[in-house]
């Protein structure tokens, strides 16, 4: 039996009379590549916020790497997020006045200690070594997203969490990013991605569908995994 890295047990998130998530149960194994899909307002972002330790569920429990984090306070969640989660955003969220390598080092700074050489290696891994000393404004959208991925990876997180990581990219850059995910998956990194894009959703090994806060489908895509990747990645 594979090691579970994440387990959501009867998770609900309630805002007033609105149930953003309703009684969700989900297990993610180490090294899985999971995509979360669903229409707007289906609860994808709420789910990723809870998994990313940026929010807590109203009921139910979140077991991350064997530890229930659903009742942790804000400071503990910050520590857990820093140590175990790598975040990728749709809008990249790079600090505009720091260079690419400095943006990567920023995540190191809040985790342990900045190491420029290590940050350069992370950028090399996403093909941006020669753009390391450029400011975000001097990089294309795809390059900025790759810096964001390097920043997410720099502290060797247990889960790489992406919120629409290809949402702002053209097709070419989307392919590059998906290819990076493929390599990371090959290296054993656990990847969880929220996406609207069916093509990006299809390249994952597993896909879940949310609707009105409920998990309505859990699809194992192992059979088509290689083919979809070939079509999508470059």
Partner 1 sequence: MFWRMIFKTLARQKSKMLMIAFTVILGVSLSTAMMNVMLGVGDKVNRELKVYGANITVRHKDAALMSDLYGLTEGLGVNDKFLYEEDIFKLKTIFWGFNILDFVPMLDGHAILSVKGRPGAAGDVSLFGTWTEKHAVLSTGEELATGLKSLRTWWEVEGDWIGEDDNNSVMIGKILASKNKIHVGDAITLSNNGIVKNYIVKGIFNDGGNSDEKILMNLSEVQKLMNLSGKISSIEVSALTTPDNDLARKAAQDPKSLSPDEYETWYCTAYVSAICHQIQEVIRDGVAKPVRQVAESEGTILNKTTLLMILITILSSIGSALAISNLITASVIERSQELGLLKALGAYNWQIVLLVLLEVMITGLFGGVIGYFLGIGFAQIIGQTVFGSYIEIAKMVILIVAVILFFVTLLGSVPAIRYLTALKPTEVLHGK
Residue ranges in contact with partner 1 by CB under 8 A? 45, 49, 52, 54-55, 74-75, 78-79, 81-83, 87, 89, 91, 93, 95-98, 102, 105-111, 114, 151, 163
213: left (phi over 0), alpha (psi -120 to 50) or beta: left
- Which residue, 73 or 222, is less far from partner 1 as judged by CB? 73
- Which residue, 86 or 142, is less far from partner 1 as judged by CB? 86
- Which residue, 60 or 114, is less far from partner 1 as judged by CB? 114
CB of residue 109 to partner 1, shortest distance in Å: 4
- Which residue, 81 or 232, is less far from partner 1 as judged by CB? 81
CB of residue 87 to partner 1, shortest distance in Å: 6
CB of residue 177 to partner 1, shortest distance in Å: 18
- Which residue, 79 or 183, is less far from partner 1 as judged by CB? 79
CB of residue 54 to partner 1, shortest distance in Å: 5
CB of residue 15 to partner 1, shortest distance in Å: 12
CB of residue 38 to partner 1, shortest distance in Å: 16
In whole angstroms, give the CA distance from residue 37 to residue 28. 15
What are the φ and ψ backbone dihedral angles of 175, each rounded to 5 degrees?
-60, -40
- Which residue, 25 or 76, is less far from partner 1 as judged by CB? 76
Side-by-side strand order, sheet with 4-15: 18-29, 4-15, 59-64, 67-68
- Only one residue has tokens 């990876």, namely 153
CB of residue 71 to partner 1, shortest distance in Å: 18
- Which residue, 148 or 229, is less far from partner 1 as judged by CB? 148
In whole angstroms, give the CA distance from residue 214 to residue 47. 11
């Amino acid at each position: 039996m594979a090691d579970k890295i994440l387990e959501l047990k009867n998770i609900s998130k309630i805002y007033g009379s609105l149930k953003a998530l309703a009684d969700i149960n989900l297990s993610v194994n180490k090294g899985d590549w999971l995509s979360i899909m669903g229409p707007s307002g289906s609860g994808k972002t709420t789910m990723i916020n809870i998994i990313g330790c940026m929010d807590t569920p109203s009921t139910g429990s979140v077991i991350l790497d064997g530890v229930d984090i659903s009742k942790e306070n804000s400071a503990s969640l910050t520590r857990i997020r820093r140590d175990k989660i790598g975040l990728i955003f749709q809008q990249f969220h790079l600090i505009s006045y720091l260079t690419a390598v400095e943006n990567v080092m920023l995540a190191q700074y809040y985790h342990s200690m900045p190491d420029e050489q290590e940050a350069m290696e992370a950028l090399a891994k996403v093909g941006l070594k020669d753009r390391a000393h450029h400011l975000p404004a001097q990089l294309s959208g795809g390059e900025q997203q790759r810096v964001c991925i390097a920043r997410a990876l720099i502290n060797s997180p247990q889960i790489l969490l992406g919120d629409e990581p290809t949402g702002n990219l053209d097709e070419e850059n989307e392919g590059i990013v998906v290819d990076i995910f493929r390599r990371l998956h090959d290296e054993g990194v656990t990847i969880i991605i929220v996406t609207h894009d069916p093509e990006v959703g299809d390249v994952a090994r597993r896909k879940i569908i949310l609707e009105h806060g409920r998990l309505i489908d859990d699809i194992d895509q192992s059979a088509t995994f290689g083919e979809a990747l070939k079509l999508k990645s470059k």
